Chain A
């Protein structure tokens, strides 16, 4: 158990809908990262939050947004869903200490858009 909790584990929804994925980082970790893993794109970095503030953006679509709350949990909002958004969405957290800082991953949320 990595200590990072993601809910829900599975989500099936229709095209055009909006969903929210939730992540609770490890206790004490201020940094939260969101990744998308799809068959054709591999593991793509989406966005990073640090202590409530957006720190870095990767390949995140405009239809997607995220936030990190004062209690450090984070949510990833996906809207106007398309079939191609079907993927495994990971949240990871880390302590920003030094270069040797592995990211601990949650179990992922498997999103299926039908």
Chain B
């Protein structure tokens, strides 16, 4: 079974609008962390935001926020006030366990295109 599912292969958004990128996950471990990474066309992977399974509040980092719904096992990324530079691939990832020792498992990604 897929541990991380991103059901939107591609998304379009108008500049300055908000966009939500979906991510659902599957784990039986009570301790886990959820991460979002951005991959621009240049190829590098850029860490955006983190949410821990025990965190009571949704994570926010500037224009990025994570809509964490634990019961639904979803961790959607919300980008507010989209900019042309936000056009990229976005990956949701999960680390299971209560330490940082395990590798991240990635979803298949969503390609976001911001239109002027």
Task: Mark A residues whose CB is within 8 Å of B.
Answer: 2, 31, 33, 35, 42-43, 45, 48, 50, 55-56, 58, 88, 90, 92, 94-108, 110
CA distance A99 to B44 in the complex (A): 23
Looking at B33, B101, B107, which has the most chain A CB atoms within 10 Å of its CB? Answer: B101
Q: Which of A33, A98, A100, A102 contacts B103 (CB 8 A)?
A: A33
Q: Which of B33, B35, B100 contacts A95 (CB 8 A)?
A: B100
Chain B hits for A58, CB < 8 A: 103
Task: Mark B residues whose CB is within 8 Å of A.
Answer: 31-33, 35, 37, 43-47, 50, 52-53, 91, 95, 97-109
Chain A hits for B104, CB < 8 A: 33, 45, 92, 103
Query: Do B106 and A100 touch (CB < 8 A)?
Result: no
Query: Do A99 and B99 touch (CB < 8 A)?
Result: yes
Chain A hits for B99, CB < 8 A: 96, 98-99
Query: Do A42 and B109 touch (CB < 8 A)?
Result: yes
Q: Which of A31, A45, A90, A106 contacts B101 (CB 8 A)?
A: A31
